[in-house]
Amino acid sequence: MEPGDAARVGPQWAARVLPQRLLLLLQLLPLLLSRGLHVAAAASSSGAVAEDSSAMEELATEKEAEESHRQDSVSLLTFILLLTLTILTIWLFKHRRVRFLHETGLAMIYGLIVGVILRYGTPATSGHDKPLSCTQEDRVFNTLLVNVSGKFFEYTLKGEISPGKINSVEQNDMLRKVTFDPEVFFNILLPPIIFHAGYSLKKRHFFRNLGSILAYAFLGTAVSCFIIGNLMYGVVKLMKIVGQLSDKFYYTDCLFFGAIISATDPVTVLAIFNELHADVDLYALLFGESVLNDAVAIVLSSSIVAYQPAVLNTHAFDAAAFFKSVGIFLGIFSGSFTMGAVTGVVTALVTKFTKLHCFPLLETALFFLMSWSTFLLAEACGFTGVVAVLFCGITQAHYTYNNLSVESRSRTKQLFEVLHFLAENFIFSYMGLALFTFQKHVFSPIFIIGAFVAIFLGRAAHIYPLSFFLNLGRRHKIGWNFQHMMMFSGLRGAMAFALAIRDTASYARQMMFTTTLLIVFFTVWIIGGGTTPMLSWLNIRVGVGEPSEEDLNKHRWLYFRVGVDPDQDPPPNNDSFQVLQGDGPDSARGNRTKQESAWLFRLWYSFDHNYLKPILTHSGPPLTSTLPAWCGLLARCLTSPQVYDNQEPPREEDSDFILTEGDLTLTYGDSTVTANGSSGSHTASTSLEGGRRTKSSSEEVLDRDLGMGDQVSRWGTRLELPLEDNM
Amino acid sequence: MEPGDAARVGPQWAARVLPQRLLLLLQLLPLLLSRGLHVAAAASSSGAVAEDSSAMEELATEKEAEESHRQDSVSLLTFILLLTLTILTIWLFKHRRVRFLHETGLAMIYGLIVGVILRYGTPATSGHDKPLSCTQEDRVFNTLLVNVSGKFFEYTLKGEISPGKINSVEQNDMLRKVTFDPEVFFNILLPPIIFHAGYSLKKRHFFRNLGSILAYAFLGTAVSCFIIGNLMYGVVKLMKIVGQLSDKFYYTDCLFFGAIISATDPVTVLAIFNELHADVDLYALLFGESVLNDAVAIVLSSSIVAYQPAVLNTHAFDAAAFFKSVGIFLGIFSGSFTMGAVTGVVTALVTKFTKLHCFPLLETALFFLMSWSTFLLAEACGFTGVVAVLFCGITQAHYTYNNLSVESRSRTKQLFEVLHFLAENFIFSYMGLALFTFQKHVFSPIFIIGAFVAIFLGRAAHIYPLSFFLNLGRRHKIGWNFQHMMMFSGLRGAMAFALAIRDTASYARQMMFTTTLLIVFFTVWIIGGGTTPMLSWLNIRVGVGEPSEEDLNKHRWLYFRVGVDPDQDPPPNNDSFQVLQGDGPDSARGNRTKQESAWLFRLWYSFDHNYLKPILTHSGPPLTSTLPAWCGLLARCLTSPQVYDNQEPPREEDSDFILTEGDLTLTYGDSTVTANGSSGSHTASTSLEGGRRTKSSSEEVLDRDLGMGDQVSRWGTRLELPLEDNM
C-alpha cells in the first residue's frame, strides 16, 4: 500500500480532529485527564495549506473544530463544577458537623448523578461519524499514513479492540469524552495521593507500631489476597455450574482480584478518627497498614500478572513460574523502595549542603521536582513509581523536612495537601461517574455477592489471627475492640479502583472492575457512615470533649503558623495506652511500654541517629564523635556546622524517641506519661534530669513548635531530642 | 475497505504501542507535556486475548512496550533534571549576587546544551520502524480500524503532515519525544503564568498609572504591531528581490508576526527591579504594560488570522474583512474580560457568603477550581482563556483575596507562585531545547536582521510618541530616563514563543518561529544582562542601600507570616515621585499628585468602594448607607455583618486611596508623603485627623500587616481605608 490514491476532501474531515484538544487542560493538575490526550495540530495545518484547497471549506472545517473544542470545554467544566459542588457541600457538612457521609462518599454521589445525566440525558452521536475501517496486510504499526486528496494524515495506534466492540467504538461522544485513560489514575492521580500519605505519616506512632504495621501490610495482604482468590475461584466454579459465566475466568484472574481488592483505603474512617481525636495507636495501625498495603497490592498484582507457566495456555500451577513471581515481587518492591529512599536522601543532601533555604520558592520547586523524579526514575528502571513515591515521601518527611526553611515546610505540605485533596476527590467522583458512563460493565450478581463475602472473610482471616500472633510479642496488646475496629475499617478505595480500571479488556477483568466499583461504593457509604456508632459501640475512646468552633479556629491559626495541619495530625491523646491495654485504665502497666518494640528499632534508631541524621540533616550528634577516628576528615566534611553550634536551635523536630548519651535506652514520648487519662492536665515543662529529657505531652509539643523562634535557651545540651512528630 | 483480510502478526506490533505512555506523567503539573499524550492500553489488551495468539509473542511484545515506556521515563527525567539543575544554579547565582544572568536565561542555556546533546548525541532510530502508509479513498476520519490477523486495532488521527515530510516522520525517536504539542504551551503552561501575573499585580501602583498602562498596552501594541508588520513586509519584498524567499509570505503574515512579537515580557528586568528596589512607578508601568500587552497580542494575532478577504486567495485589503477583524478583536477581548471578571466575582461571593474560611484547604481548592473554570468557560464560549485568566486573577486579587482566611491567602499565592515558577522556567528551557530539536527551522539572515531592526523601531515608535502624549495629561511626567528604560526593556519571552510555536505548518510561520526564538534569546541574554548598568547609566534610583542577608532572612520570615512575598512586592520607595517628576527632589510639586488621574478613577473608585466592595467582600461602608432607601432589604441581605460590627477588624486591606466621608476627594498613599527622599525615616504612626486618615509609609504597611491579629483598637471609624497593597 503506497500513498498515492487521491480523492475529494470532505468538509467534515476536521470535524473530529480536535475533539480532545481541550482535554489537555486537564493536565493542569493531576486531577483531570482525558483518555486520549492526543492533540492534533490540524487546525493550524489546515490554515497553512489553505491555498491548495478551497478557503471556504477551510472555514467550515475550522468552525467544526471550534465547535468540538467548545464541547470539550463544556465536558471539562462539568468535572470542575462537580468538584466545586463537592467542596461546597463538604463545607456545609463540616459546618453542620454531619459525619455520616464523608467527602469522598459525597463526591461519588455527585459523580453518580452526573453519570446518570450523561448516560440518559445526552443524545447518542454515533450516527454520522462511525469510524472508518481500513484493512492492513502485514503487521500492526504504530503510525499509519493516510493519503486523502494528496494530503497525508498521520494516525497513531490507540490500541486493540475486540471484534464485538467495533460498532460501539465512539458510540456516544459525551460518554467517550468523560472516559479517561486508565493509566491516568496510575500515573497522575495516585502519585500525589500516595506521596502525601508518606509525607504526612505520623512518624512517631508509625514507627512505634512498625512491626505490627509491617505484619498487617505484608503478611495480611498476602493472606487476604490468597483467601479472597481461592474463595472467588470457588464462586467462579459455581457460576460455571449454573451457567452464569460466559467467558474464561482463570485461577490467576481470581488471585489478581484478590490482590487488587486487598488494598484497603480507610480514608473515611481515618477522617472521623481525626475529627473525633480517636486513639492514636489505632490510627497509626490503620493508616500505616492502608498506606503500605497499597504498595503491597500493586506489586502483588503485577507479580500475579507476570506469572507465566512454562507450559503455555494451561494456567496450571508451575513451581518455577511461581518462584519467579515471588522473585519479581521482591525485586520490584525492594527496587522501588530503594529508588524512593535514594531520591529522598539526595534531596536531603542537596537541601543540607546548599543554602537553598534562603529562597523558599526555589526550595519548594526543587522538592517537588525531586519527588517527582523518583516516580520517573522508578518507572525508567522498571520498578513501580507509585511505590517509590511512597517511600520517597517517608524519607523526605524524615530527613529533608528538617533541612527545609519554615516557609518551605508549610509550602510543601500545603502543596501536596491540595494536590492530594483534589486528586482523591476527583477519583471518587470519577468512580461515581464510571458506574453509568463506563461502557463495558459486566454485572454478575453471584460474583458480586461472593466478592462481598470473600472480602469479609479475607479481612477476618487477616486481622484476627495476625493480631493474635502480634499480641504474643507486643507489650501493649491490640485489644479486641481494636481488632474489631480494624476488621470494620476494611474499606476499599482509590487504589483498588485504579488497579481494577487499569485493565478492562477481558471479560474477567470487566467483571472484576464492576464488582470492585460496587465494593468501593458500599464500603465507603455504609462503613464510612457507621464509623461513629461503631466507635462508641466498641467502646473506643475519642478525644476528651470536642473543641468548640472558636478553639478550632484558634488552633487552625496556630497550626498554620508552624505548618502543622490539624487535619493531618490530631494532638495525640495520652489515654490511648489504656485502651490499647484493655478495657480500663491500668496505670501500673503504663510504664511497661517503655521498652516496647525496642528489639526492632534499637539498631535502626541508633544507626539513624548516629549516622544518617547527622549526615543528612543539621541535627544529631556530630559525626566526629560517632564515626571512628580514621573517618575524621570525612566526618568533618559531612557534619553541619550547626551541630557544633549550640547557640543555634536545632532544626530537627521529628525524632521519635528519647536517647540518653550514656545508654541507648529507647523510650517513647507518650510512654513516660503517667496514664492518668487526661491529656489536658500536663504542664508544658521540659525537665532536664541528668542529661535525660522527658518531654511528654502533646500540648508541650505544640507549645514548643509555636515558640520556635525563641527556643535557644531551651536547647542547652548537645543531644537534645524532641519527641513530637511535626507532621 | 472492509475489515476482513488477515495476515500474520509480527512480534514488533506493539513495540511502539506505548511510546508516550509515560509522558502522561507530564500532566502531573502544568509543566511538562508531551506532544501526543496518547496512551494505548495495548499491553493490557494484548494480555487479555492471550489465548488466541502465541503467548511467547505476547511476552516479546510486552517487553518491547516496557522498553519504550522506559525510554519515555528517561526523556522526562531529562527535563526534570534540567529544571533541577537550573534551580540549583539560580540559587548559586542569587547566593553570589550574580545579576547579569537571570534564571530564565540560565534555563535557556541549559536547554540549549541538552538540545545539542539530543540532536547530535543520540542515534537516529528511523531505520527499522518507518511508518506504514495506507491509502484512504474518500474522506479523512478521526478513527481508523485496522484488521490484522482478525484482531482490530484502533488508530486515531494525529494530524496532517506535508508530503515532503513523510520520510522524516519519527525520524529521531528522542527528538520526537522531547517535542511537545504547541497547544500545551497555550493550554497548560501559560495560564498559571498569566494568572499569577494578574493575581500578584501591585494594585495601588497599577491603578495609579492605569491610564498610561492602558495606553501603552492597547495603542502601543497596535502601533508596534502595525509598524513591525509593515517593516517586515518591506524585508520580505527585499528577500523576494534577492531571491531568498522560497515560499509565500503575505502581508497578513507580516502583521501576524508583528502581533506575536509585540508581546513584551520583561521578566528579567522586573526581577532586577525587584531585587534593587527600583522605582515602583516605573515597575508598575513596565509590569502593567507587559501583562496587558500579552492579552492584546493574543487577541490581535487571532484577529489577524481571522482576517479573511471576501475575494479568495487575494490577500488584498478588504474593508469589510478589516472591520470584521476589528469587531472580532473587540468581541474576544471584552468577552474574555467579562468571563474573567464574572468568575472572580462569583468566587468572591461564594467565599463571602459561606464560612469556608474555617477550612483553608477547601477554600484553596475552591479558589483553584474556580480560577481554572474561568479558562474553560472562556474557551467554551469561544473567547480566549488566557486573557480571561488574567482578568480573573486581577478580580480575585481585588475582591476574593479579602474574603480568604489568612492561611488561604498565603496558600493561594504560594501555589500559583510555584506553578508560575515551574511553568516559566520550563518554557524557557524548552526554548533552548527547541533551537536544536525542533525539526522545521527556517533560518533566514535577512529576515532575522530585519526583525531585530523592526522590533527596535517598533518599540521606539510606540514608547516615545505615546509618552509624549501621555505626559501632556500626566501630572507627574514620565521622564526621559524612564522612557529610555521602557524602550530598553522591550524583551520578548514566553508569550511570543507560545504564539509563534502554535502554528509552524507553513514556510512563513516556520521562519517567524525561528526568528522569534532568536529574538527571545538575544533580548533575554543581552538586555537582561544589561539592566543593571542601564539603570545606573540612566540615573534611575534604586533602593536606599541593599538589605543584608540577615535582613532578607528576617523579612522573609516576616513576610511569610502575613503571606506577603518579597519577590513579588518590594516595599515601595517614597522617592519614586521625585524621579518621576524630573531629575531632582521637588517637594513643592509633591502635593500636586493628589488629584492625579482622578478624572479616570473617581467614578470607578466610588462605585467600587460604595457598591462592589461591600457586596463582594466584608469591607467598605454598609450597603444600607450607600444604596437608595428602596433597596433596603437587598442591602441588608448583601451587607456582611462584619461591616456593622466595628469590633471586628475589617478584612479589607487593599484599598488604594483615602476616602473621607464628607467629600470624595481621592488621594494616594504615597502622595501625601513629604518627598524627603528617604523612606526609612517615617515613623509608623496612624494619625486620625478629623475623620481623615493619613497612612503613608510602607514601613507602616508592613507593621500593620504584621499586627493583623490585634489591630482592633486602631480601626475606630467605620470608613477606615488602609492604603497598602497587600500583594
pLDDT tens, position by position, B122-152: 665 544 444 444 444 444 555 555 555 555 5
pLDDT at residue number B358: 82
pLDDT at residue number B705: 35
Q: Which residues of B touch A382 (CB under 8 A)?
A: 66, 70
Considering only alpha carbons, which residue of chain A is nearest residue B58? A308
Of B157, B166, B561, the CB nearest to A17: B157
d(CA A482, CA B274): 57
Chain B, 427-446: which have a CB under 8 Å from a chain A CB? none
pLDDT at residue number B117: 84
Please name which of A711, A331, A681, A265 lies closest in space to residue A490, comparing C-alpha atoms. A265
Task: Please check the confidence at residue B232 and state whether its pLDDT lies above 60.
Answer: yes
B139:A7 CB<8 A: yes
Measured CA to CA in angstroms, residue A33 lies from A18, A76, B587 at distances of: 16, 9, 59
Task: Please check the confidence at residue A329 and state whether its pLDDT lies above 60.
Answer: yes
pLDDT at residue number B650: 42
pLDDT classification of B374: cutoffs 50, 70, 90: very high
The mean-pLDDT minimum among A14-18, A157-161, B135-139 falls in A14-18
**A550 Cβ under 8 Å from any chain B Cβ:** no
List % helix, strand, coil for chain B (3-state, nearest 5).
65, 5, 30
pLDDT classification of B368: cutoffs 50, 70, 90: very high
Report the SS3 class of residue A687.
Answer: strand
Q: Give B159→chain A minimum CA distance, Å.
A: 5
Q: All 3 cell numbers of residue B78?
A: 531529562
pLDDT classification of A607: cutoffs 50, 70, 90: confident
B364:A418 CB<8 A: yes
Q: All 3 cell numbers of residue B199?
A: 493575581
**Is B265:B495 a contact under the CB 8 Å cutoff?**
yes
Q: Which helix (H) or strand (E) covers residue A146, if one does?
A: strand A143-148
**B465 Cβ under 8 Å from any chain A Cβ:** no
d(CA B486, CA B502): 28
Q: All 3 cell numbers of residue B646?
A: 466595628
The mean pLDDT of B306-334, rounded to a whole number, is 76
Whether the ipTM is more than 0.90: the answer is no
Phi, psi of B147 (to 5 degrees): -100, 115
Q: Give A388→chain B minimum CA distance, Å.
A: 14
**A708 Cβ under 8 Å from any chain B Cβ:** no
Contacts of residue B121, Cβ cutoff 8 Å, sequence gap at least 6: none
Of B54, B157, B380, the CB nearest to A40: B157
Q: All 3 cell numbers of residue A428?
A: 471518587
The burial class, CB within 10 Å (0-12 / 13-18 / 19+), for A452 is middle
Task: Please check the confidence at residue A700 and state whether its pLDDT lies above 50.
Answer: no
Beta bridge partners of A658: A667
Only one residue has cell 473506643, namely A540
Considering only alpha carbons, which residue of chain A is nearest residue B555? A358
DSSP B646: T
pLDDT at residue number B442: 85
Considering only alpha carbons, which residue of chain B is nearest residue A193? B28
The mean pLDDT of B62-71, rounded to a whole number, is 70
pLDDT at residue number A17: 28
Task: Please check the confidence at residue A106 and state whether its pLDDT lies above 90.
Answer: no
Report the SS3 class of residue B696.
Answer: coil
Only one residue has cell 478492562, namely A504
Please name which of A108, A18, A29, A32 lies closest in space to residue A77, comparing C-alpha atoms. A32
Percent of chain A predicted with pLDDT > 70: 61
Q: Are strands A151-161 and B132-135 parallel, antiparallel or unpaired?
A: unpaired
Q: Give A137→chain B minimum CA distance, Å.
A: 6
Report the SS3 class of residue B693.
Answer: strand
Contacts of residue A19, Cβ cutoff 8 Å, sequence gap at least 6: A68, A71, A72, A173, A177, B142
The burial class, CB within 10 Å (0-12 / 13-18 / 19+), for B715 is middle
**Residues, chain B, total?**
727
**A188 Cβ under 8 Å from any chain B Cβ:** yes
HSE on the CB side for B91, CA within 13 Å?
21
CB atoms within 10 A of CB B124: 11
Considering only CA atoms, give the Rg of chain A.
28
The mean pLDDT of B40-58, rounded to a whole number, is 40
Task: Please check the confidence at residue A636 and state whether its pLDDT lies above 50.
Answer: yes
pLDDT at residue number B122: 67
Q: Is the pTM of this model over 0.90?
A: no
Q: Which helix (H) or strand (E) covers residue B280, if one does?
A: helix B280-306
**Is A727:A397 a contact under the CB 8 Å cutoff?**
yes
pLDDT at residue number B642: 65
Task: Please check the confidence at residue B255 and state whether its pLDDT lies above 60.
Answer: yes
- Chosen for mutation from A301, A372, A426 (greatest number of chain B CBs closer than 10 Å) is A372
Task: Please check the confidence at residue B697 and state whether its pLDDT lies above 60.
Answer: no
Q: Give A541→chain B minimum CA distance, Å.
A: 26
**Is A576:A204 a contact under the CB 8 Å cutoff?**
no
Of A132, A135, A379, the CB nearest to B141: A132
For the stretch B393-437, pLDDT in tens is 999 988 888 888 888 888 899 999 999 999 999 889 888 888 888
Beta bridge partners of A671: none
The mean-pLDDT minimum among A106-110, A649-653, B342-346 falls in A649-653
3-state secondary structure A551-585: HHHHHHHHHHHHCCCCCCCCCCCCCHHHHHHCCCC
The mean pLDDT of B239-268, rounded to a whole number, is 86
The mean-pLDDT minimum among A20-29, A48-57, B344-353, B470-479 falls in A20-29
pLDDT at residue number B526: 85
DSSP A100: S
Only one residue has cell 517527582, namely A372
pLDDT classification of A150: cutoffs 50, 70, 90: low
Highest mean pLDDT among A261-270, A423-432, A540-549, A713-722: A423-432
d(CA B284, CA B217): 12
Q: Which residues of A touch B414 (CB under 8 A)?
A: 364, 411, 414-415
Beta bridge partners of B692: B689
d(CA A18, CA A13): 11
For the stretch B699-723, pLDDT in tens is 333 333 333 333 333 333 333 333 3
Task: Please check the confidence at residue B274 and state whether its pLDDT lies above 70.
Answer: yes
**Could you write out the DSSP letters of every residue in B148-213?**
ETTEEEEEEEEEEE-GGGGGGTT--HHHHHTPPPHHHIIIIIHHHHHHHHHHT--HHHHHHTHHHH
Task: Please check the confidence at residue B580 and state whether its pLDDT lies above 80.
Answer: no
Only one residue has cell 545539542, namely B116
What is chain A's mean pLDDT, rounded?
A: 69
pLDDT at residue number B450: 93
Task: Please check the confidence at residue B518 and state whether its pLDDT lies above 90.
Answer: yes
For the stretch A334-376, pLDDT in tens is 999 999 999 999 999 988 888 787 888 888 999 999 999 999 8
Between B139 and A312, where is the model more confident?
A312
d(CA B294, CA B196): 13
Considering only alpha carbons, which residue of chain B is nearest residue A160? B153
Q: Which amino acid is at B30?
A: P
pLDDT classification of B649: cutoffs 50, 70, 90: very low
pLDDT at residue number B550: 43
Q: All 3 cell numbers of residue A333?
A: 518492591
Q: Which residues of A touch B153 (CB under 8 A)?
A: 136, 140, 157-161
Beta bridge partners of B37: A37
**Residues, chain A, total?**
727
The mean-pLDDT minimum among A632-641, B293-302, B306-315, B504-513 falls in B306-315
HSE on the CB side for A640, CA within 13 Å?
29
Q: Which amino acid is at B673?
A: V
Q: What angle do CA A467, A670, A580 make, to 5 degrees?
A: 25
**Is A89:B365 a contact under the CB 8 Å cutoff?**
no
